A and B are shown apart, each in its own frame.
Chain A
Amino acid sequence: DIQMTQSPASLSASPEEIVTITCQASQDIGNWLAWYQQKPGKSPQLLIYSATSLADGIPSRFSGSRSGTQYSLKISRLQVEDTGIYYCLQRYSNPWTFGGGTKLELK
């Protein structure tokens, strides 16, 4: 199974700051990587697919990148509503696996 190691597990940042969350895949997964945001008490929402493509309706301050088997989600100009837990997901091979999640809090 492909392991997705996500870091950090939690972080706290101030509005307007830039934050980066990373996922390290245990093997090559190409661009089969997605990012989700889960707000408290809500279902996950797709942010990024194919490692770098922005999902419909998602603000452009969210962006995804890839360097080898390391994938990053960058949130620029952090807003209060960005509070939540962020997960990566690999869809390269079955079983599909999620990262452990990153809890983002705003100061």
Chain B
Amino acid sequence: EVQLVESGGGLVQPGRSLKLSCLASGFTFSNYGMNWIRQAPGKGLEWVASISSSSSYIYYADTVKGRFTISRDNAKNTLYLQMTSLRSEDTALYYCARDRLGVMDAWGQGASVTVSS
């Protein structure tokens, strides 16, 4: 069974940093691209960042470019999102999702990030 488990969320002050992790199991992690998608409270889905299976290709939404860094450790089956210079508008539930069939086919349960003083 494919499982994606996010961790590392929490309450953080504006301007500070936070690092999310996503532990994958039930599939060969190193064969798949991965994504981060977020959902602000009561709002829709927003794609944040993507990384290819070997980290050769990385893409970011303009809203996070220069502040967030996506990375992965295939030996640890783990995806990361390093978030710096956090703003109140970054408050959201952050999902990691696997790439397959050209879409995000499996999602984690999400990690909550609240940016507030």
Q: Which residues of A contact B (CB under 8 A)?
A: 32, 34, 36, 38, 43-46, 49-50, 53, 55, 85, 87, 89, 91, 94-101
Contacts and interface: CB of A to CB of B under 8 A. Distances in A.
Interface of B: 44-47, 50, 59, 61-62, 95, 101-110
Contact of B105 (A32, A55, A87, A99): A55
Contact of B45 (A49, A50, A95, A98): A98
A50 B101 contact: yes
Contacts of A97: 47
11 contacts: A34-B103, A36-B45, A38-B45, A43-B108, A43-B110, A44-B104, A45-B107, A46-B104, A89-B103, A94-B50, A96-B50
A94 B62 CA distance: 10
